[in-house]
Structure 1
Amino acid sequence: MDYQFKAGSIPLLVSMPHVGTEIPDDVLAAMTPAAVDKQDTDWHLVRLYDFLGEMGASVLSARWSRYVIDLNRPPENTNLYPGQDTTGLCPVDTFHREPLYRDGQAPDQAEVQRRLAAYWQPYHQQLRAELDRLLALHGRVALWDAHSIASVVPRFFEGKLPDLNFGTADGHSCAAGMSDAVVAHARAQQQFSIAVNGRFKGGHITRFYGQPEKGVHAIQLEMCQSTYMDEDAPYGYRADRAAQVQPLLRDMLHTAASWVRA
C-alpha cells in the first residue's frame, strides 16, 4: 500500500501527509546523501497522536517521503504562498537548500506526472473516499491535517516559529465556530505559544478539501518539533515532552469531532 489507513466511527479524519520515510529504489538512485537523512519529515506524528484509535477517529498517513512527492501540494504545483519561498510538488532541495538530486538527475515533467499517478493519487483517492463515507454517515466531518516542522527554518520564517500554528485558509476551510472552539483550548493554556493563520495557513489538503458549505470542516496544525522530540539527528522522540502536549491535542480533537456532531 502507498499509505496507512484505519477507518474510524466518529466524524473525524486525521491526515498525516508528511510522515512517510520510504523512498523507492529507482528514485533514491538519482538522489544525493542529503535525501537519505530525510530531515524534513514530520517525525513521530503517528506516535504523538496514538490516542486517535481509542477516540474512534479515522487516520490516514503517508508511506512515501515528501522528497518523493509532496502530498500537501496541488497537482499543478502552484505556489500556496505567492511571493514566499517554498518547496515544490517534487522537491529538488531540502528546507536548508541542500540539493536532493545529483547533477542532471532532477525529475522532469514526465517523471513528475508518473509520481503523481503512482504516489500522490492513491493518498488523495483514499482521503476523498473516507470523507465521503463519513459525510454519508454523519452529515458533517472534521478534517484535521497534522504536521510538524523544525522550530527554526530561516528559509521560511524569521526567528522561532510559535509552538502551535493553526491554519484554516484565512477562515475559508472551516466554520468559525469550529476553529474558535478548537483554538480556545490552546488559548486557555500558557505553556505553548500559538498562531492562527500566520506563516502557515493550511496547505493543499486543508484548502482543497475544506468546504464547510458541503459539510467538511478542515483545519491544519503545524507544530514545532521541539514540543515533542529532538530536532537534531537522529530525531529522537521525547516522551517527556510529548506527554505535555498530548492532553491538549486530545482535547482539541475531541472538540472538533463534537462540534461537527452538534
Structure 2
Amino acid sequence: MTNPFADLFAPPFQIAEPASWTTPLIFNSPHSGRVYPDSFVKGSRLDAITLRRSEDTFVDELFAGVVSRGAPLMSANFPRAYLDVNREPYELDPRMFDGRLPAYANTRSLRVAGGLGTIARIVGDAQEIYARRIPVDEGLQRIEHLYKPYHRALENLLQNALRRFGALLLVDCHSMPSGVAQREDASKADVVIGDRYGSSAAGFFADVIEHELHQRGYVVARNKPYAGGYITEHYGDPAGGRHAIQIEICRSLYMDERRYVRTHGFARVADDLMAVAEALMREMSDYLGAGRLAAE
C-alpha cells in the first residue's frame, strides 16, 4: 500500500543502524520530529513556533552517538503535535473530529481527557491546536500510515535484538520543559527515569543511569512526574527478556527553550548521555553473561 505521508515527511521516520550491531540496546526518540506540514500549520490556531512546544527538540541528536557504539537509533520526523506514537493507537477525543469515531477508539482515557491523545488537542499549557474539527478519515489515515508503520518498525528492531542476543533494553528518549519537575517534584530533577515503577525493566538499569548521572552532577528522579508512556508500558516485559526504560532530560540543560537553538550545554549533555549509554551496554553485557552462565 502506498503511504500518502511518505513525501510529506520524507520519510516519516528513520532508523540509524550501526555498521556492526554489538549490543542489545535500542534507542528510540518518538517526539523529536520537527517537520511541520504547511497544511497542518495553516489549519491550526497557533503559529509554527508555538506548535513546537510539545516537541522533544534535538533529543535524537543528543543520542546520535549510540550508533557508532553499536546500537540502533529510531526517530520520528513527524511531530508529536501531529501524531503521538507514545499513546495507544486509538486514544482519540470525539470532540476533535467531524464524523463518528470507530467503536474501538478509546475516548475515555486520562490522556484523552487531558488533550494529549494519539492526535493531540493541545500543546504547551493547554493551548488548543486546531481552528476547526478534523475529518475522522484524516485522523484515521495518520494512524494507519504513520503510527502503525512506526510501531511495526520498532517491533521489528526489538525482535531482531531478541533473536541476536536473547534479551534487549529499549531506551525511550524524551525531554521535558524546565519547570515541570520543579513544579511537580521536590527534587527539581534534571533527569527523570521512568520504568513504570519497576514493571517495565529490571531495577538495576535505572540504578546504572542514576549512578552515572549523579557522578556527573545531575539531579535525578524516578517515575515522578514521568513513569513512562505507552511505549515503555507496551514493550517492557522483563520476564520475557524485553526491558524498556524512559529518560526525560530537562531542555534548559542543552537548549534555549524560546528560540529552539542549542546552547553551550548541548555538547556536555550529549557526552554525559553517551557515558550513560556505555554504562548500560556494559551492564547489559554482564546481565547476558550471567544468564548464559546460569543456563550452563
Q: TM-score, normalised by structure 2?
A: 0.78
Root mean square deviation of aligned Cα: 2.5
- Superposition map of 1:13-52 within 5 A: 13-35=26-48, 37=50, 38-52=52-66
Gaps of 5+ in 1: none
Structure 1 distance, partners of 2:162, 2:153, is 14
Structure 2 distance, partners of 1:183, 1:160, is 13
2:241 corresponds to:
215
Structure 2 distance, partners of 1:50, 1:137, is 22
Structure 2 distance, partners of 1:48, 1:85, is 29
Residue 12 of structure 1 deviates from its aligned partner by: 1.2
1:152 corresponds to:
179
Note if contact 2:17-2:67 (Cα within 8 Å) is conserved in structure 1. Answer: no
- Output one character per residue of 1:153-177: Cα deviation in whole Å (capped at 9) or x when no partner: 59x8478951100000111110112
Question: Which amino acid is the alignment partner of residue 243 of structure 1?
Answer: A
Closer/same/farther in 2, CA of residues 96 and 84 from structure 1, 3 Å limit? same
1:7 corresponds to:
17
Q: What percent of counterpart residues are identical?
A: 27
Which segment is superposed worse, 199-208 or 170-179?
Answer: 170-179
Report the structure, 1 or 2, having the larger helix content: 2
- Superposition map of 1:72-221 within 5 A: 72-77=86-91, 85=114, 87-102=116-131, 105-153=132-180, 157=184, 161-189=188-216, 191-221=217-247
Closer/same/farther in 2, CA of residues 84 and 187 from structure 1, 3 Å limit? farther
Closer/same/farther in 2, CA of residues 82 and 126 from structure 1, 3 Å limit? closer
SS in 1 for 2:262: coil
Closer/same/farther in 2, CA of residues 32 and 174 from structure 1, 3 Å limit? same
SS in 2 for 1:147: strand
SS in 2 for 1:255: helix
Closer/same/farther in 2, CA of residues 138 and 6 from structure 1, 3 Å limit? same
Q: TM-score, normalised by structure 1?
A: 0.88
Question: Which amino acid is the alignment partner of residue 47 of structure 2?
Answer: A
SS in 2 for 1:114: helix
Gaps of 5+ in 2: 1-10, 92-105, 287-296
2:6 corresponds to:
none
1:235 corresponds to:
260
Closer/same/farther in 2, CA of residues 229 and 257 from structure 1, 3 Å limit? same
Note if contact 1:90-1:107 (Cα within 8 Å) is conserved in structure 2. Answer: no
- Output one character per residue of 1:214-242: Cα deviation in whole Å (capped at 9) or x when no partner: 1111110011101111111x21101x212
Residue 125 of structure 1 deviates from its aligned partner by: 0.8
Structure 1 distance, partners of 2:219, 2:276, is 15
SS in 1 for 2:123: coil
- Output one character per residue of 1:95-134: Cα deviation in whole Å (capped at 9) or x when no partner: 22222111xx233544332211111111111100011011
Structure 1 distance, partners of 2:250, 2:177, is 6
Aligned residues: 256
Closer/same/farther in 2, CA of residues 82 and 91 from structure 1, 3 Å limit? closer
Structure 2 distance, partners of 1:228, 1:70, is 23
- The one of the two structures with greater contact order (alpha-carbon pairs below 8 A, sep at least 6) is 1
